[in-house]
A and B are shown apart, each in its own frame.
Chain A
């Protein structure tokens, strides 16, 4: 039997059972479409998180005081408490050639008031370099002054939300506010939407780090943001930073360094796994579609017993009958898969229209895998009905015994 004839015969029998064929196409296409859409959502989530990390800053290292347990190493023999991570420590890091910028940070909560309005907000003590490292932009006024970090100057840059709450529609620049009963002059307002990793800077206030240290009476820094000169410099910067701190802390390795890439890599791995999982779960619907195909083909075989007997009487071999029914099942599965890919891509485009901020995107492997699984399913679940058809005794098939 020639291949075009085989395909024509199979499609004529599929067309002959229209309702059944349409239902099967529906089941298979829903399965494939859900794999495509769900993996695209997973991939979108991954891209979203990656994008958030990029916002946090590029080539970024974060230094925390104290040794992280997870980095291993023996516990200190003499039970020392970790040394403070001081401003001098932070600024000493700039000695390393691989380090471009350093932003020492102190963070605390304090009441902020202006006149009768007051609020408890997060106060960030930072330096001028904090702004470029975190890609923060100042909507009006200026960022923190470029001064010796040790100098405590009572100026403040307000988040836009906080500005609104304290000043309403009045102008804030040049005005005075109180933080913990100390007066600070407002010199700048952050642009709106300065959000990264869930931290909304809209409701915060940024002051010089020395001023914050004296506000909170905290000699140790909360952390130090370190920006390496380039992507290749990250590892070098990490080693250099560790060496410099060890030297300054009498040989103690008492800080923790986190590279953003390591964090990002972890998230990336988690979200990829999530995408595979979601894809796999959607894949179950493909298996269900496969079982449906088997069921429907079994019904088709029993409805077409006389036809099978006839084909055999006309000289079709068992192998030919087997092939006919297999081709039918695979055609059904392939058409359903193709339809499913179209529906899935349509769904993705629709979601992209509805949620433009979410970077939804189908990973290429998903539709390919879905189609492969669909066709494979058609083949596997088509075998049993096809074998049953092939083994029919033609005499009994023709007489309906």
Chain B
């Protein structure tokens, strides 16, 4: 369960203050499937970063599984990110010198998981992604769709409850994009809460719950009534 209440996020550029998030309140039950759409600069990425504990709001409350996160020290927020949250980026952000398997294993390495348990888990993930034969390829030896699948594997290798994807198909062609969406939906079907920021209406429409943002505010939320 995720509860945002009265979230504000301001950025100061020169002497101008940009309000990227303006009084955003949102409740996501576990296993929800949400798409976030809206014009460029409307605060979608900022919302995702706040949800992922990468960014700290200036004001408001963010409770993750009942725990207030906005006042936690950085170390504790890093631990929450590691254990409960997975990120998927438009630009994949794979480490170029590491193989697909090592990229997927990176969160396990950071968490100090033993090599034996780690290898078993990486194998499991590679298998579910149908990428076993690409395990030792480096990112530059993979197609865009494969890279994004590796990135998704890395996002879920710690079995997080929340998966955040910021325009995950933005750098992919139609075919690879729908494969990636199918994979994300499959993960959601197995219980993970999924939030996808997208520009693509056909992808956005697939979500159970659709949020539209304008100027840092939630202009429309198809699921708002259900959870009010």
Contact among B55, B85, B109 for A1, CB-based, below 8 A: B109
* Contact of B112 with A by CB under 8 A: yes
Q: Which of A297-356 contact B (CB under 8 A)?
A: 306-307, 309-320
A2 vs B111: C-alpha distance when bound (angstroms)? 8
In the complex, what residue of chain A is closest to B87 when comparing beta carbons?
Answer: A313
Contact, CB under 8 Å: A315 / B78:
yes
- Interface locus among B28-36, B92-100, B208-216: B92-100
Q: Which of A10-56 contact B (CB under 8 A)?
A: 12-13, 15-16
A15 vs B97: C-alpha distance when bound (angstroms)? 9
- Interface locus among A140-148, A188-196, A243-251, A393-401: A393-401
Contact, CB under 8 Å: B110 / A314:
yes
Query: Which residues of A lie under 8 Å from residue B154 when comparing CB positions?
Result: 314
In the complex, what residue of chain B is closest to A304 when comparing beta carbons?
Answer: B95
Query: Which residues of A lie under 8 Å from residue B97 when comparing CB positions?
Result: 12-13, 15-16
A319 vs B96: C-alpha distance when bound (angstroms)? 23
* Contact of A69 with B by CB under 8 A: no
The count of chain A contact residues (Cβ–Cβ below 8 Å) is 26
Contacts A12-B97, A318-B74, A318-B78 given; does A311 touch B55 at CB 8 Å = no
A242 to chain B, nearest CB (A): 76
* Contact of B106 with A by CB under 8 A: yes
The count of chain B contact residues (Cβ–Cβ below 8 Å) is 30
Contact, CB under 8 Å: A398 / B55:
no
Contact, CB under 8 Å: B93 / A317:
no
Contact, CB under 8 Å: B49 / A395:
yes
* Contact of A358 with B by CB under 8 A: no
B57 to chain A, nearest CB (A): 12
Q: Which of B13-48 contact A (CB under 8 A)?
A: 45
Query: Which residues of A lie under 8 Å from residue B75 when comparing CB positions?
Result: 317-319
Query: Which residues of B lie under 8 Å from residue A398 when comparing CB positions?
Result: 54, 89, 93
B54 to chain A, nearest CB (A): 5
Contact, CB under 8 Å: A320 / B110:
yes
Contacts A318-B78, A399-B45 given; does A313 touch B52 at CB 8 Å = yes
B118 to chain A, nearest CB (A): 9
A124 vs B207: C-alpha distance when bound (angstroms)? 112
Query: Which residues of A lie under 8 Å from residue B98 when comparing CB positions?
Result: 12
A15 vs B98: C-alpha distance when bound (angstroms)? 11
Contact, CB under 8 Å: B45 / A315:
no
A315 vs B95: C-alpha distance when bound (angstroms)? 15
A313 vs B93: C-alpha distance when bound (angstroms)? 11
Q: Which of B176-226 contact A (CB under 8 A)?
A: none
A394 vs B97: C-alpha distance when bound (angstroms)? 20
Query: Which residues of A lie under 8 Å from residue B55 when comparing CB positions?
Result: 395
A314 vs B52: C-alpha distance when bound (angstroms)? 10
Contact among A15, A309, A312, A395 for B78, CB-based, below 8 A: A312
A318 vs B91: C-alpha distance when bound (angstroms)? 23
Contact, CB under 8 Å: A315 / B49:
no
A104 vs B55: C-alpha distance when bound (angstroms)? 93
A1 vs B110: C-alpha distance when bound (angstroms)? 5
B117 to chain A, nearest CB (A): 12
Contacts A394-B54, A399-B45 given; does A310 touch B112 at CB 8 Å = no
What are 20 A-B pairs with beta-carbon distances under 8 A? A1-B110, A9-B109, A16-B97, A307-B93, A311-B106, A313-B87, A313-B93, A314-B106, A314-B110, A315-B78, A315-B79, A315-B110, A316-B78, A317-B78, A318-B78, A319-B75, A320-B78, A320-B110, A395-B49, A399-B45
Starting from the known contacts A1-B109, A2-B114, A314-B87, 7 additional A-B residue pairs (CB-CB under 8 Å) come to A2-B112, A13-B97, A314-B107, A314-B154, A317-B74, A395-B49, A395-B54
